[in-house]
Structure 1
């Protein structure tokens, strides 16, 4: 199983990783480490993949799988019922595993520099425009200068073509967002990583890492909905190590 570990100076109590498409039991367009149970894959294979992930990482608990809806609600795990409808999850207690699933949308992992809070965020263009990053930073209830954020694999700026109406939503909220769009005929190429960094900077978060892997351009490593249509989902996970 290939896993991506964030290269960031997080406290040792913070554990995090992102899966790729390799190392599971799913077949066909879901091959092989599909963790999404809502995409048409064999439920038995998905359950086996999730258990394989838990065992491989030695997780303290099964991840809390959200029902993601491209919104900006944040589930505070332990307070919210699970599974719940949200696009970000936050944990304050050790042993609770936050998770978001993606296949082109941008996953963000967050922690504070004391290792007291962690969060996972699912940010496609709709969530970014709606303010999911703003909501997650607010839910962390920490000085933004003390937060660390890692940007996981997402569709890159050379592959994510959108209509003028998408660009207009971002520019209406913040004119500086225009710098994250390049013309492509009568459409635009959008930079999700750039839009996320810009929003984080506006919020006072300066310690931002990652943002290097394009899901669309690496079919051997990543699922991509924009590239394949029917496809699986990767997971980005973060948790606090239980105290011994």
Structure 2
């Protein structure tokens, strides 16, 4: 598997669970989308994006194509299907072997999950709206497992020093959990800097997860590795985070 296209999670997943995040390099896209853009709604040439998606299956020996989502920054969790039909939602889970769950991001937080038995996997797209509304809790619930039997890994997202938000974002999180105040530091005026990783960890720990890994990346700062909507604007490419059962 080409190391210029994939990052493999460092987490204690059971044998038979496979996952990776795509880097922005090693694909066919040109210009601002250079070069491994996986987002069909990013403004890139759809035919080129499909060529990039075709690269995903190299060396993976998937039984089915990935379950792609039409993401809407909500909390809907879909069950992956082998029919290659895009489904609307912001998280996906499966217990089928060889059927990858996939989410697309470019600053939002991708979170992957598996159970300790290695028989169920899930992936969630957690922008601040979905995170605040409960997409991670909904994803864990969909797996039908006791939270202490679920592992989570945080993929690349925008770091706190670059995630500036208005006071309404902070207040929305504090309405759900006053302890979320620890994840914000003040900026100028009514602006705040929020820590998506810390907010996600708080939610999962309150749910009962004890095995949480990852969270050391910044899509905004690492331009050579990741796409970033905040840095690059509307014409930002998209990274894919995928997890499956061998």
TM-score bracket, shorter-length normalisation: over 0.9
Contact 1:63 1:96 in 2 (8 A): yes
Q: 1:158 aligns with which of 161, 165, 168?
A: 161
Q: 1:90 to 1:228 in 2, by over 3 A?
A: same
Q: 1:162 to 1:80 in 2, by over 3 A?
A: farther
Give the CA deviation at 1:100: 0.1
Matches within 5 A, 1:163-174: 163-174=166-177
**CA–CA separation in structure 1 for the residues paired with 2:100 and 2:90:** 15
SS at match of 1:158: helix
Q: 1:128 aligns with which of 108, 126, 131?
A: 131
Q: Does 1:75 align with 2:56?
A: no
SS at match of 2:185: strand
Task: Point out where structure 1 has 5 or more consecutive residues left out of the alignment.
Answer: none
Aligned match of 1:33: 36
TM superposition outliers: structure 1 runs of 4+ over 6 Å: none
Give the RMSD, CA atoms, in angstroms: 1.3
Give the CA deviation at 1:189: 0.3
Aligned match of 2:186: 183
Q: 1:139 to 1:80 in 2, by over 3 A?
A: farther
SS at match of 2:92: strand
Give the CA deviation at 1:54: 1.4
Give the CA deviation at 1:9: 1.0
Q: Does 1:88 align with 2:104?
A: no
Aligned match of 2:243: 238
Give the CA deviation at 1:58: 3.5
Aligned match of 2:210: 206
Give CA deviations for 1:221-244 in whole Å, capped at 9, x if unaligned: 100000010110000000001xxx
TM-score, normalised via structure 1 length: 0.96
Work out the number of aligned pairs and report it.
Answer: 241
Q: 2:5 aligns with which of 2, 7, 10?
A: 2
TM-score, normalised via structure 2 length: 0.95
Contact 1:54 1:61 in 2 (8 A): no
